[in-house]
């Protein structure tokens, strides 16, 4: 694809060479459409392919023994889905379309071939994967030690940081096309509790929310409440190997 969103995302962190851009864009050759609610793969399925999100949102979820859902991560334009489970043959979580989507599937062996030809890209993929892991650790820490408002603030700020890393723009209006049930399952709260917290945060002029966007009205205060650390604004590439080609 000439308009590879994956290239756009990676190029925010590194000045990619034309050869590297071509190698990345080649992974987005076969776009497929999925309607909201469709399951892209189930937990335990053979993880023979990876996905690049070209349009729309997906969520990574796992079912608890109680039958309740735990949302582990949200995925949107420019995200690579499946990399966190690449060490395993079976998918560690299910991937479900949260909105209508366009994704590109490619065999995970293609990623290995890309790494052989372009070791600098391998370093970049690894670094971004670690950034996402640390961001997830931060959210887990918030779940264990923070009140509901701080958990929700942390989630909104994390999504905003990730989207800004792709767009390159610091926009207080963040597109979050998720239900209150989705938000609750991501931060360990009931839908009723999420609804109450959003009303409270609106009254305190921290945020406003409509059906598909959240506006961060007082970002410094949200950061203070949640002790949020932006893991996506910068990346240390000083140790990367030189580009090839």
Q: What is the pLDDT of residue 1?
A: 42
Whether residue 66 is found in the same domain as residue 111: yes
Whether residue 119 is found in the same domain as residue 149: no
**Residue 241: inside a domain, yes or no?**
no
Whether residue 169 is found in the same domain as residue 140: yes
Name which of 75, 73, 83, 72 is nearest 27 in CA terms. 83
Q: What is the pLDDT of residues 131-145, one digit of tens each?
A: 999 998 998 888 887
- Residues 176 and 153: their CA atoms lie apart, in Å, by 13
- Whether the predicted model's global pTM rises above the 0.95 cut: no
Q: What is the pLDDT of residues 11-64, one digit of tens each?
A: 999 999 999 999 998 888 889 999 999 999 999 999 999 999 999 999 999 988
Whether residue 114 is found in the same domain as residue 12: yes
Whether residue 50 is found in the same domain as residue 140: no
Name which of 140, 153, 132, 148 is nearest 226 in CA terms. 153
Please provide the average confidence, as pLDDT, over all residues in the chain. Answer: 93
Whether residue 115 is found in the same domain as residue 13: yes
Contact in structure between 57 and 15 (CB atoms under 8 Å): no
Whether residue 123 is found in the same domain as residue 141: no
The greatest distance separating any two alpha carbons of the chain, rounded to the nearest whole angstrom, comes to 55
Q: Concatenated DSSP letters for 125-148?
A: HHHHHHHHHHHHHHHHHHHHHS-H
Whether residue 64 is found in the same domain as residue 24: yes
Whether residue 204 is found in the same domain as residue 115: no
CATH of the domain at 101: 2.60.120.10
**Count: domains in the chain:** 2
Give the CA-trace dihedral at 14, 102, 134, 234, to 10 degrees: 20
- In this model, does residue 117 exceed pLDDT 80? yes
Name which of 186, 188, 183 is nearest 201 in CA terms. 183
Whether residue 122 is found in the same domain as residue 11: yes
Whether residue 24 is found in the same domain as residue 109: yes
Structure tokens at 76: 């949107």
- Residues 200 and 177: their CA atoms lie apart, in Å, by 20
Instruction: Assign 243 to helix, strand or coil.
Output: coil
Binned at pLDDT 50, 70 and 90, residue 220 comes out as very high
Q: What is the pLDDT of residues 34-44, one digit of tens each?
A: 999 999 999 99
Q: What is the pLDDT of residues 158-194, one digit of tens each?
A: 999 999 988 888 999 999 999 999 999 999 999 999 9
**Domain assignment of residue 61, given as a range:** 5-128
User: DSSP character for 9?
Assistant: H
Q: What is the pLDDT of residues 73-83, one digit of tens each?
A: 999 999 999 98
**Residue 233: inside a domain, yes or no?**
no
Structure tokens at 233: 């604004």
The domain boundary, picked from 128, 162, 190, lies at 128
- In this model, does residue 210 exceed pLDDT 60? yes
The domain boundary, picked from 66, 94, 128, lies at 128
**Residue 239: inside a domain, yes or no?**
no
Dihedral angle sign, alpha carbons of residues 136, 53, 189, 199:
positive
Whether residue 118 is found in the same domain as residue 151: no
User: DSSP character for 46?
Assistant: B
Binned at pLDDT 50, 70 and 90, residue 245 comes out as low
pLDDT (mean) for 198-213: 96
**Residue 243: inside a domain, yes or no?**
no
């Amino acid at each position: 694809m000439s308009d590879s969103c994956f290239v756009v995302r990676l190029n925010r962190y590194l000045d990619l060479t034309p050869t590297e851009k071509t190698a990345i864009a080649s992974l987005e050759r076969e776009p497929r459409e999925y309607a909201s609610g469709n399951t892209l793969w189930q937990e335990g399925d053979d993880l023979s392919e990876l996905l690049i999100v070209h349009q729309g949102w997906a969520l990574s979820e796992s079912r608890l023994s109680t039958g309740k859902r735990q949302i582990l991560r949200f995925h949107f334009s420019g995200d690579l889905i499946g990399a966190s489970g690449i060490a395993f043959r079976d998918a560690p979580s299910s991937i479900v379309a949260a909105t209508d989507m366009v994704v590109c599937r490619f065999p995970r062996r293609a990623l290995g071939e890309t790494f052989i030809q372009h070791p600098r890209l391998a370093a970049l993929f690894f670094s971004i994967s670690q950034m996402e892991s640390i961001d997830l650790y931060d959210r887990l820490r918030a779940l264990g030690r923070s009140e509901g408002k701080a958990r929700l603030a942390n989630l909104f700020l994390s999504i905003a940081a990730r989207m800004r890393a792709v767009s390159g723009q610091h926009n207080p209006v963040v597109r979050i096309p998720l239900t209150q049930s989705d938000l609750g399952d991501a931060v360990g709260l009931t839908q009723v509790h999420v609804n109450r917290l959003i009303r409270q945060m609106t009254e305190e002029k921290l945020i406003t929310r409509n059906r598909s966007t959240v506006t961060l009205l007082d970002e410094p205060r949200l950061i203070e409440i949640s002790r949020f650390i932006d893991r996506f604004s910068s990346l240390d590439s000083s140790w990367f190997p030189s580009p090839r080609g």
